[in-house]
Structure 1
């Protein structure tokens, strides 16, 4: 460890020592994964060859601001990993950027592959297990300009990229997922009010991106219509699963955005219908575990989602503060899929760190209850390590345990980081 690593560790230890004593806990299972999650585009910065970078800059963009330097994590990854390790975590989930690794069709950058290999090696140096995400919403610009996953041969191109990366990284990867929240294209139209009106704005942005790169089409995965993108996404996952497994032996799963759908006023049948379309339809895909990513509950009436009661607390992202959603969806997933579960994301967007601490405490109760019920729950990864670029919301929302100065990129762990770190270090919940 260099001097900076030592200082980070000492600072975290000092913060932890100032926290009040916690009640007695019970141990979590041996090998339980404790960590944070982060993505490539949201933290690395200057991902100029990606589809999202272009979408951020065209006239008519839906993005509040461009990602720019983001958190400069492409250069500062060692500092980020050292912070995570100093807090007591044993796992680091991060994404690799396809647009950096394959900037042109069939042209693989050994420099980019070696960069991510160094990230993995740095995790090993700090005794952190690694969980890799092969695609976290972004794709290369050339891939989007040929029609993205909607174009012929797309699944084979993704599998080629995934297999190439898996071979290069070898045994440095401990866990991985193919797509982040691969059910999201189905979820967005259901849960976003006024989506149909917004669809026209999305198409205008994508058309502008197509024109900017001299193509007659431009398909960004996260913005694609569900009826067109879901079938090729399933095919791409299946082929990538085989390609990765041919090169690596680590557990390989899927991650799903799984918000807790609760019926109100006769909405039981609608909830059952939505659960099947949004969640159950993905459980038959080849996977060694299901990554549950839950942030809130959605109340559902006979015709679909209804607004949360006005008196309920809302997060900065506009959804209801409802930690029990996490336990509910872990239970649902374990029962419906019959597979091991890892909480690959859980967190809260807020500028009030006391509410993040409260959210963490409430979700820890859910984790403890699921373990006590005998559910095969193998880990909890908090979203996110850093305050980073939150897609169309820009930098307006803070999900991180660590604040990042937008000018100097100085990292400052928040009290919530020390709080969660203390829970992890205790060895139990």
Structure 2
């Protein structure tokens, strides 16, 4: 366990602030936006990264997963911004100086505005665009990086498709992201406004929009192309992808439905992961299914702010299932809960790390655990209304205040 990576994760758009060239910045400004509030300065991690990284060091953590914002690096198609590359070079150097292993995500949901105008994640052009961006970053920063996640939750577009189908039937569903479905009429008006805002496109295809089967495949093609291009530049890089996985549990004859759900979430991606160096596993809860489909959480189950069931046992279950089907190292790139009661997060961490230790004892190659998230931040369409962080932030002053759970990671791991 000495080389185990223990740390936390963030996403650039959720913490940096003022990612004005990104597609979600456009979506936030719409008159009928689905975003409950605007991201603004977020938690100003763009300027305060050194303070945040030093806090991780002080808490005994040794790894930090963060993303590079594509729209900062390539604000216009084919034009790369040297100043932004230098910024991320400084972030990487700060990690190294503080004994923190950086785990870099090349795409965490947000994309350049120009990409959406070009057809976004339903256009075949995205494969080459993403490959070229990743190759450029690897050429510039590869000497300071080791672990790279190409795409965060590559199956999220397919999960969004499922959400929209289910939403149309007025049923509940577990979705591991902050999506606002409270105002369907405003949502539809907002979609029309978004088409106009992106230059009159026929459809807006951000990474968090529902996809076609072809669009789902494009993501994996983009992953493979980017992985191979970065390897060609920097053979030492360990490269993988992350998927959002539920602990799918069948009840009352739901075995076939559970198998279908798992195939959609995980199994059908396996052919595209065989050359990866590790797998990024992201899990928050379980999903119960019967022969008719998904079921709500048990009536008396504790729930988080996201309305997930509080079920920390899910992570160990999913680790074991993934390992049974994919024989490469597993890195837990996200796992956590949204709650104002930090004692719940402390208990959650104790349970999940106990499960990770049991997996290691059974010689399952788990190489790290990165908690979501380092700080309370911008939870996409739900704004700042959800508290996933190990550190709270007073956004009026941007003052950081570590919670007890921040120190619980190393405490539980060393017990």
Structure-1 separation of matches of 2:220 and 2:162: 20
From the superposition, tell whether residues 146 and 133 of structure 1 become closer, same or farther in structure 2 (CA, over 3 Å).
same
Aligned counterpart in structure 1 of residue 192 of structure 2, from 207, 211, 235: 207
Task: Say whether the 8 Å CA contact 2:21–2:72 is kept in structure 1.
Answer: yes
Superposition deviation, residue 421 in structure 1: 3.2
Superposition deviation, residue 268 in structure 1: 0.4
TM-score, length-scaled by structure 1: 0.89
Structure-2 separation of matches of 1:203 and 1:141: 20
Aligned counterpart in structure 2 of residue 224 of structure 1, from 210, 217, 227: 210
Structure-1 separation of matches of 2:2 and 2:109: 33
Task: Say whether the 8 Å CA contact 1:295–1:325 is kept in structure 2.
Answer: yes
Aligned counterpart in structure 1 of residue 335 of structure 2, from 336, 346, 355: 346
Q: Counterpart in 1 of 2:42?
A: 70
Structure-2 separation of matches of 1:188 and 1:153: 22
**1:111-155 Cα deviation digits (max 9, x unpaired):** 001100110000000011110000000000011111102123211
Structure-1 separation of matches of 2:151 and 2:187: 21
Structure-2 separation of matches of 1:38 and 1:268: 35
Q: Counterpart in 1 of 2:76?
A: 104
**Residue 61 in 1 paired to residue 46 in 2?**
no
Instruction: Choose 183-192 or 80-89, whichever is displaced more.
Output: 183-192
Tell me, what secondary structure is at the counterpart of 1:283?
Answer: helix
Q: Counterpart in 2 of 1:18?
A: none
Aligned counterpart in structure 2 of residue 362 of structure 1, from 351, 371, 379: 351
Aligned counterpart in structure 2 of residue 319 of structure 1, from 281, 285, 308: 308
Structure-1 separation of matches of 2:214 and 2:200: 19
Superposition deviation, residue 334 in structure 1: 0.8
Structure-2 separation of matches of 1:72 and 1:192: 33
**Residue 161 in 1 paired to residue 150 in 2?**
no
Aligned residue pairs total 398
Superposition deviation, residue 188 in structure 1: 3.1
Aligned counterpart in structure 2 of residue 235 of structure 1, from 221, 232, 240: 221
**Residue 395 in 1 paired to residue 380 in 2?**
no
Tell me, what secondary structure is at the counterpart of 1:170?
Answer: helix
Task: Say whether the 8 Å CA contact 1:55–1:206 is kept in structure 2.
Answer: no
**Residue 119 in 1 paired to residue 80 in 2?**
no
Structure-2 separation of matches of 1:336 and 1:164: 33
**1:267-320 Cα deviation digits (max 9, x unpaired):** 001111111111111222131111111100000111211111110000011010
Aligned counterpart in structure 2 of residue 336 of structure 1, from 309, 313, 325: 325
Consecutive unaligned residues of structure 2, counting only runs of 5 or more, are 170-180
Q: Counterpart in 2 of 1:302?
A: 291
**1:74-95 Cα deviation digits (max 9, x unpaired):** 1111111111111111111000
Aligned counterpart in structure 1 of residue 239 of structure 2, from 219, 238, 252: 252
Task: Say whether the 8 Å CA contact 1:135–1:179 is kept in structure 2.
Answer: yes
Tell me, what secondary structure is at the counterpart of 2:388?
Answer: coil
Superposition deviation, residue 229 in structure 1: 2.2
**Residue 172 in 1 paired to residue 144 in 2?**
yes
RMSD value, Cα: 1.6
Task: Say whether the 8 Å CA contact 2:142–2:237 is kept in structure 1.
Answer: no
Aligned counterpart in structure 2 of residue 404 of structure 1, from 368, 382, 393: 393
From the superposition, tell whether residues 81 and 401 of structure 1 become closer, same or farther in structure 2 (CA, over 3 Å).
same
Q: Counterpart in 1 of 2:267?
A: 280
From the superposition, tell whether residues 243 and 203 of structure 1 become closer, same or farther in structure 2 (CA, over 3 Å).
farther
